[in-house]
Amino acid sequence: MLLPSKILENAVDEIATLPGVGKRSALRYALHLINSSDSDFAAFIGALARLKSDTHYCSRCHCISDNTLCPICSSPKRNQKIICVVENIQEVMAIENTGQYTGLYHVLGGVISPLDGIGINDLTISQLISRIPVEQTEEVILALPTTMEGDTTNIYINRQLKQFPNLKISTIARGIAIGDNLEYADEITLGRSIVNRIPFDKI
């Protein structure tokens, strides 16, 4: 795409580094910003600039937070004895939106992926392990993606957690999504959902 301005081109290139944004959308966003009012533009740039300088990570669960402890970790209403281990903050929000979970979280910041150069020390696994005795955790729920990398991470964490004999370790149920047609389900999921079948009254 031939742009009439180097400054516009530079901005379009930067916006196109956002995940899933192509050059055409980036140009649309850039032109929208150019045409916005000065105050709107200042608010936009200001909010983005503060993202990096002013956000912190919760010292306990490593979720993004404005304070040392995030609202979930500091809430007296949450069950302090259960930790749900997730890959990223997006999953925290997805699970929160279900309204089905009242425990705490632990954000790993990724999953073990040698191809992407993400090793054990890049994740907050050791911080998770050290939380268990301090918080007298009773259950850890592994809610990592059901990919090869997610499973590798699951197995590694599971092995580390074995040092706590009284700790219950569980993982989120895998099976046919609600509303899905059996004939379109992949074989591995369908096979597992038969092997790991649940009592009918628990549905």
Q: Smallest distance from the beta carbon of 13 to its own copies, in angstroms?
A: 7
SS3 78: coil
The nearer residue to its own copies, 42 or 120, going by C-beta atoms, is 42
**Long-range contacts, 113-122 (Cβ 8 Å, 24+):** 113/149, 120/156
Distances (CA, A) of 27 to 9, 19, 39, 48: 8, 15, 21, 18
> Is residue 41 involved in binding its own copies (CB under 8 A)?
yes
Residue-by-residue DSSP string for 53-68: HH-EE-TTT--EESSS
What's the count of helices (H) and strands (E) in the chain, helices before strands? Answer: 7, 6
Which of residues 8, 118, 176, 190 is near its own copies by CB under 8 A?
8
179 torsion bin: left (phi>0), alpha (psi -120 to 50), beta (else): left
> Based on CB atoms, which residue is closest to its own copies, 77 or 197?
77
Least Å distance, CB 38 to its own copies, is: 7
Q: Which residue from 22, 55, 59, 133 is in contact with its own copies, where contact means CB under 8 A?
A: 55
> Is 48 or 194 the residue whose CB approaches its own copies more closely?
48
Residue ranges binding its own copies (CB under 8 A):
1-8, 10-11, 13-15, 17-21, 25, 27-34, 38, 40-41, 43-45, 47-52, 54-55, 58, 63-66, 70-72, 88-90, 92-93, 96-97
